[in-house]
Structure 1
Amino acid sequence: MDFTLTEAQHDLGGLARTVLTDWTTKNAPDATGYDRELWSALARAGLLEAALPAPVGGGFDLLEQCSVLIEIGRTVAPAPYLTSVAVAAAAIAQFGSREQRTRWATPVAAGTATFAVALSTEDDRFAAERTDTGWRIHGSHSAVPAGAFADTFLVEAATAEGPLLLVLDRATDGLRVTGQHVVDGSDAALLELDAMVDDTAVLGAPGDGSARWVHRRATIAACAYQLGVVERGLELTSEYALTRKQFDKPIGTFQAVRQRLADAYLDVEAVRLSLWQAAWRESEGIPADAEVATAKFWAADAGHRVAHTMVHVHASIGIFLEYPVHRYFTAAKRTEFLFGAATEQLRTLADALTTAPRL
């Protein structure tokens, strides 16, 4: 594969860095995970629309979305691009009808709506049964990212025919949303469902592969975001090691600190390499289950190590809530477990290597 970034990736990534850096120099993020003005600014810059497939957006797709997500991770900006654009709107553009794209994806591209995504896990899942008039959905899902403020929810439900994707507006009868505080803020929510929906809420068909597609895209998006987090976190830590002195010497001159930073650099590059390999294969339509699991393993395992390196090199100041490194530490720790932690990825990788045909 060719790891060279495309012109569109460079342009969108550079534009995202400009917009996000400008915002973060003027604003202190709160704990809500969402800033409406920033979301509107990203929309005005074309960053929400450009990386969505036609006819919803500008015709770009996964690789360009990853470039934007890296920049969001670098600033830990309160912009729900991962759930709203890279997963939900992209899935609606891929599997939805024209009416569904107009109703749900177009407002995201315009910056007037946001999405949360609730995908099945071992502990959290919904079930759906077909009825004469549509589907009855029930179950619960905790700590849904962006759920506290999302206008709409993309949820996965288990059916007798296979997994099913549904789109639910926040005002859906039988949907209860309870905000939750997690390690890096209060954007998550507990979803409790006992609702009846008609077929207009169904995305694709049960067992058609759309749910697996969404799982892969969500996992790759999390890896891209994590790359931005750990990349910038390491930069801040290296800068601190050059300026913080002990015994009249920068602590970065001490062998133990140099080795710790060198290990962190290798970890960041491993996250980068595995991310782009998985994203490229997925974007080319090449089987990528093993590569996606590998990328998320590195994002989780290496992300854990780099996060703790940030704190250990900074010492006590690294965990002060008012100090910027704390935001990168908590973001890295949360993303470590998002859409499957390291052990789960190793299980997925083992299954992919033993059952899937390889190219």
Structure 2
Amino acid sequence: MDFIDLKSQYAALRDNINARIQKVLDHGQYILGPEVREMEEALTAYTGATHCISVASGTEALLICLMALDLRPGDEVITSPFTFAATAEMIVLAGGVPVFVDIEPETANLDAELIEAAITARTRAIMPVSLYGQVADMDAINAIADRHGLAVIEDAAQSFGATYKGRKSCNLSTFGCTSFFPSKPLGCYGDGGAIFTSDEVLAKACREIRTHGQSQRYLHTRLGVGGRMDTLQCAVVLGKLDRFEWEIRRRLALGEAYKRKLRAAAPGLRLLDVRSDRDCVWAQYTVFVDGREAVQARLKQAGVPTAVHYPRPLHHQPAYAHYAVPDACPHSIAAAAQVLSLPMSADLTEAQQDQVVDALAAALG
């Protein structure tokens, strides 16, 4: 059993993906070729956002958005400490200061009720993370941002395809940033990402920044980066789009099945809560366990692969510890010690899922 089954996905899409790749090899436009614009147009239609700017990675997407906001040294960006390092990493590389606010223990997403107390005169933006595939409470976060004149950047690296109150992730705030890393809900075969916005001025800035700050060839109007997404990777995403809605439905169904089966087999196990006004596309199906290392070892013996996203919150990481006191964000600290991700992908079979559930119930004793 694979933790994420990309081989079965490719087998189902082989002809479409191969044809898409071959078309790029035939026309030879490997940088900003026609597939780049085609993918961007397809994803704007999917999300409802006015603009999609493809970029080299989800990490690059965050950096470009912060640069488009003209973040200045010392400017503060409120975010979660319970996320991958890229979230805070880009704030620091852009010259900003990450201000860590704790998560909701039930969802592991940024707690909107704690944000306002963290706002200062230096705050420029809020960067919630749509963790594990579920969007944070974006209406509440946007309302706070509006009161204080702040931008909101949704780090949606794990939630492309998810909905919040009937709207798509990546079209919920000033910016939405996603990743097409192979293991994401919509992945390419390398690095790739996208920025979504409905602000014309910010979209123009992002397009210029991703190509070394050029408004036209060799006219550099702003500081930029080499942040383009390769045409070949856009072709791979296009090759997956026909099946994507089916995959999202499968992820939703598998998430519900995991919940039902785990509640029956391991009634004491704590599961992530999915709020009633949104869904979760389960980039990782994650549960909370005590004695995690022993549980992982038992699952490995049973042939069930697992992963931990994430074992140490950012304010306990050496690179970011000086941005917060060690005992801040207690829910993030607790989650980091307990989260365990189980095999999850659209091609996970019922038999495989039953094997995971039975093995986990046995491992919990």
> Please, what TM-score do these two structures have when normalized by structure 2?
0.25
Greater RCO (Cα-Cα under 8 Å, separation 6 or more): 2
